[in-house]
């Protein structure tokens, strides 16, 4: 087992480190600007944040969060564009090399902001900038449902098959990246070295997922679940004495007409697991009240000890059901990459809430 950077345990090759330079000029005061000084564009039908930024020649992977920050009042659910609304476009930074060359002559204070690269997230998403140290010292085990020979729940969208494991995995990767940005230690238990974080609506189904670090996933269902339990429990022993939590992500399968919200389960005897589930649930409830005030959030957190991973794993944990893969409304929740990003971000905010209020 090798360490993925300084705060991510992962079976990887040698990590590369990059540093972004933030500077203050002695002769100048900090520059502030309002939306009025930024270029603007009107959203058209079908536009998403990623596509809108691309059309403006802005890298959406670098400026996604900044776009949300400066346009939050005109976004539905904090992530969706509204047709006909005007949005400010973030200012693109100058080339780093030329910027550093010109600034080093004038700058009296240089602050290095560390970033790390993780190939598991894919070429476009592999760079993780450190946002804070709010989760420093915390260890998280992330398990996405099914994988390998088992695609999980299946459905058809636009004439193509879609599967639970691909969407649960994409959300899990996004969650891992959010937790890393706040200095957590993260283990991704079910892994696919080829997929990375994907921006497509229809995620192609494959069978090449493995279990940490590189174990083949058994065909037998009970053996698959036991393998995950053993991996998590072994890592839990190795990290004894640290704050540790397990987050399992699934997509449910119910009748097509049943639209469900995001649910959170925990072990009936785990106070810490209940608090983790409640913290994430509280975050989701607050987000719905803020961004969908006319819609009641009906998701719950409750004990579900009958679930194998809930019953058998040692870390305090929450088991998350994202939605019903067969329901058209729930499909939009997982098919839209912006939605998957929002789910990951909201979960991460609940995780931070849990850690800081422990």
The enclosing domain of 48 has a CATH number of 3.10.350
Q: How far apart are CA 15 and CA 244, in angstroms?
A: 24
Verify that 58 and 136 share a domain, yes or no: no
pTM: 0.77
Question: Which residue matches tokens 């804070």?
Answer: 132
Residue 169 in any domain: the answer is yes
Verify that 189 and 336 share a domain, yes or no: yes
Q: What is the pLDDT of residue 103?
A: 39
Question: For the segment 228-244, what is each residue's pLDDT rounded down to a tens digit?
Answer: 999 999 999 999 999 99
Residue 158 in any domain: the answer is yes
Query: Which stretches of the chain drop beneath a pLDDT of 70?
Result: 1-36, 77-78, 93-113, 255-259
Q: Where in the chain does DSSP place strands (E)?
A: 3-4, 8-9, 17-25, 40-42, 86-88, 107-117, 127-129, 138-144, 154-157, 160-163, 185-188, 190-191, 210-211, 215-216, 243-252, 263-266, 301-303, 316-324
Q: How far apart are CA 184 and CA 130, in angstroms?
A: 10
Instruction: Kindly write down the DSSP assignment for every residue of 131-197, as one continuous string.
Output: --STTTTEEEEEEES-BTTB--SEEEETTEEEEHHHHHHHHHHHHHHHHHHTT-EEEESEE-TTT-S
Residue 129 in any domain: the answer is yes
CB distance 209 to 169 below 8 Å? yes
**Residue 57: exposure state from Cβ atoms within 10 A (0-12, 13-18, ≥19):** exposed
Verify that 80 and 126 share a domain, yes or no: no
Q: How far apart are CA 75 and CA 302, in angstroms?
A: 31
C-alpha neighbours within 13 Å on the C-beta side of residue 187:
27
Give the structural domain span for 65: 35-88
Verify that 142 and 43 share a domain, yes or no: no
Question: For the segment 99-157, what is each residue's pLDDT rounded down to a tens digit?
Answer: 344 434 443 343 456 889 999 999 999 999 999 999 999 999 999 999 999 999 999 99
Query: In 3-state terms, the chain is what percent helix, strand and coil (to 5)?
Result: 35, 25, 40
Residue in 353, 211, 216 with CA at minimum distance from that of residue 276? 353
The string over 174-208, giving b where at least 16 C-beta atoms fall within 10 Å of a residue's C-beta and e elsewhere, is: bbbbbbbbbbbbbbbbbbbeebbbbbebebeeeee
* CATH number of the domain bearing residue 337: 3.40.630.40
């Amino acid at each position: 087992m090798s360490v993925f950077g300084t705060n991510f345990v992962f079976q990887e090759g040698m990590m590369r480190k990059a540093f972004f330079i933030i500077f203050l000029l002695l002769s100048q005061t900090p520059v502030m600007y309002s939306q009025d000084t930024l270029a603007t564009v009107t959203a058209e039908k079908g536009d998403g944040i990623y596509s809108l930024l691309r059309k403006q020649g802005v890298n959406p992977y670098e400026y996604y969060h900044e776009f949300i920050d400066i346009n939050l009042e005109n976004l539905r659910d904090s992530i969706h564009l509204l047709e006909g609304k005007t949005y400010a476009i973030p200012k693109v930074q100058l080339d780093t090399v030329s910027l550093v060359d010109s600034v080093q002559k004038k700058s009296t204070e240089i602050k290095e902001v560390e970033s790390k690269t993780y190939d598991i997230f894919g070429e476009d998403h592999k760079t993780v900038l450190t946002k804070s140290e709010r989760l420093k010292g915390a260890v998280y085990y992330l398990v996405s449902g099914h994988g390998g020979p088992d695609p999980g729940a299946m459905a058809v969208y636009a004439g193509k098959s879609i599967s639970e494991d691909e969407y649960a995995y994409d959300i899990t990767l996004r969650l891992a990246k959010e937790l890393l940005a706040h200095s957590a230690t993260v283990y991704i238990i079910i892994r696919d070295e080829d997929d990375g974080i994907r921006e497509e609506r229809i995620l192609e189904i494959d069978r090449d997922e493995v279990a940490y670090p590189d174990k083949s996933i058994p065909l037998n269902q009970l053996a698959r679940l036991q393998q995950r339990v053993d991996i998590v429990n072994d890592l839990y022993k190795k990290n004894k004495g640290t704050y540790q939590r397990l987050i399992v992500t699934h997509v449910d399968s119910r009748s097509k007409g049943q639209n469900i919200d995001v649910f959170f389960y925990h072990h009936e005897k785990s106070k810490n697991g209940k608090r983790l589930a409640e913290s994430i649930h509280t975050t989701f409830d607050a987000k719905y009240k803020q961004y969908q005030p006319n819609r009641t959030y009906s998701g719950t957190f409750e004990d579900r000890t009958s679930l194998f991973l809930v019953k058998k794993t040692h870390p305090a944990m929450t088991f998350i059901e994202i939605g019903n893969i067969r329901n058209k409304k729930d499909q939009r929740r997982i098919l839209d990459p912006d939605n998957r990003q929002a789910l990951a971000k909201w979960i991460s905010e609940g995780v931070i809430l849990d850690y800081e209020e422990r």
